[in-house]
Each structure stands twice: as structure tokens, then as C-alpha cells.
Amino acid sequence: MSTLTLTPTKMRHGIWQGVLMQSGSGVPQISVTHLGNAVPDVQVSESGDTGQWMLQVPIPYEAIADGVQVFVITDATDGEELGQFTLIAGEALGDDIRGEVELLRAELDMLKRAFRRHCVETG
């Protein structure tokens, strides 16, 4: 179970921001993916308050496209999903389920990693 909780705050100038609350110690290790690929240049910095960290995710220019783009934020130490955010551009269709499918894929990947880790630990 993750020692982190994520609260989204804003997106401005192509950078999504959130606040991480941590019950453990050390710098939080965060992974952000888009279409299964790691998003580069994710920054985690101290907020000033104990146990609080600022998360900044720059939106890659390749991700700005028509349709629904989903970014999944996970705790890199245990693979637990902390949250996600979406970008919608172009003509959004009422029946467009691509965003939901992407979320399901991310959750399935997380479950596969957790299952493999469980098998290694118990085997």
C-alpha cells in the first residue's frame, strides 16, 4: 500500500500540478505514463510543509492531439495508481471510450505487476 496521496491542483502553461502527501520518509518516487510510455521530466519538489511535496508533470507536445489523452500517475515504489488526468482536444464524441480503455489498460498493467511481484515474493 502506498504511503502517498495525490491532490490535483491546476494545469497552467502546459504543466499539470498536484500536491503529494506522504506518511513515509524520503523523496517520493513517481511515475507518469501516457499511452504506456513514461512521461519525461516529471519533477517532485519539497513544498515547505512537512510531508508535502509538489508534483509537476510537463505535457509532452506529442500528447497534444485530437481525442482523449490520459496520463496515469503511479507510486513508482509499489506501482499503486495515485491518480490520472485527461486532456480532450478536437471534436469530443459522446460515445468516445478511448479514455476509459486507456485507464483500464493502465490498471491491468498495474495488476499484472502486482501479481508478478506477489508470485516472486511467495514463490
Sequence letter at residue 45: S
Enter the DSSP assignment of 37: E
Torsion of CA 94, 96, 99, 104, to 10 degrees: 110
CA nearest neighbour of 104 among 118, 89, 90, 84: 84
Q: What's the pTM value of the predicted model, to 2 decimals?
A: 0.73
Give the tens place of pLDDT for each residue, 46-99. 987 778 999 999 999 999 988 889 999 999 988 899 999 999 887 655 556 677
Give the tens place of pLDDT for each residue, 16-27. 999 999 887 888
**Full set of structural domains in the chain with CATH:** 4-122 (2.60.40.10)
Nine cell digits for residue 117: 511481484
